[in-house]
Amino acid sequence: MCTSTPVNLANTATAAKPQQWNLHLPEIDPERIVLSTSPRDAMISDVNEMSTLINEFASARIMLARGPLYLYQSIQDYMVITGKIDGQEVVVACGGLHVLWEDLAEIRSVAVHPALQNRGLGGLLIAALTKNAKRIGVNRLFVFTLAPGFFQSLKFEEIDRESIPPVVWAECSKCPKFYKCDETGMIQNI
């Protein structure tokens, strides 16, 4: 007999109602924001803002879209950088590390608010995700990206499509761009 506490599906459904999602990227005045000094692990309460940030770039076709279901289920992969505006915390950058195999993890959804780009936040996120990868024993990082210059500056190297590890293709088969991929595959031994 099942004795576990029933899950309140009504609450779950209410929480996921699309109209409760703020889908507009807030304007940020770089002069008024006090940035945190280092990335931190993402929390459930960050998902709304992470999704907004990622999907702002996805709508310009420079990143893959990530919906709330994916972000909730992958929250432990993600880190964020926040800042405070008038005492209120806002997510200004995010990125994920998804383990694919014993020696390989993929960097996913790295996004920095447009008002705060080119100030080192993207580099800080990659450094923190790399540290996590080393801590858990992964020794190679992979990324598919439309910003190869950014990853090149962080010592990633472009990889031929033929040399891309098979486990990456298994992931690619879930991607809407599978038959017409315009992204560059890059890899780094860490």
Residue 67 within binding range of ligand COA, rule CB under 6 A: no
Enumerate the β-bridge partners of residue 97.
107
CB of 47 or CB of 94, closer to ligand COA:
94
Identify whether the C-beta of residue 164 lies closer than 8 Å to the C-beta of residue 175: no
Residue 150 within binding range of ligand COA, rule CB under 6 A: yes
Identify whether the C-beta of residue 77 lies closer than 8 Å to the C-beta of residue 96: yes
SS (H, E, C) 135-149: HHCCCEEEEEECCHH
Residue 71 within binding range of ligand COA, rule CB under 6 A: no
Going by C-alpha positions, the residue among 149, 164, 176 that lies closest to residue 58 is 176
Identify whether the C-beta of residue 150 lies closer than 8 Å to the C-beta of residue 187: no
Residue 110 within binding range of ligand COA, rule CB under 6 A: yes
- Considering only residues 25, 26, 115, 119, which one is a binding residue for ligand COA as defined by CB under 6 A? 119
- Considering only residues 33, 99, 100, 147, which one is a binding residue for ligand COA as defined by CB under 6 A? 147
Q: Using CB under 6 A as the criterion, what x/- string covers residues 30-59 for binding ligand COA? A: ---------------------------x--
Query: Could you give phi then psi for residue 107, rounded to 5 degrees?
Result: -85, 130
Residue 92 within binding range of ligand COA, rule CB under 6 A: no
Which one of the spans 37-45, 131-139, 143-151, 161-169 is the region binding ligand COA (CB under 6 A)? Answer: 143-151
Angle at CA of residue 152, ends 150 and 155, nearest 5°: 120
- Considering only residues 55, 82, 145, 184, which one is a binding residue for ligand COA as defined by CB under 6 A? 145
Residue 63 within binding range of ligand COA, rule CB under 6 A: yes
Which single residue is written with the structure tokens 């993207």?
122
- Considering only residues 71, 91, 121, 128, which one is a binding residue for ligand COA as defined by CB under 6 A? 121
* Tokens describing residue 19: 């109209």
Gap between the terminal Cα atoms of the chain: 49
* Shortest distance, position 88 Cβ to ligand COA, whole Å: 22
- The full length of the chain comes to 190
Positions in the binding site for ligand COA (CB under 6 A): 57, 62-63, 110-112, 117-123, 143, 145-147, 149-150, 153
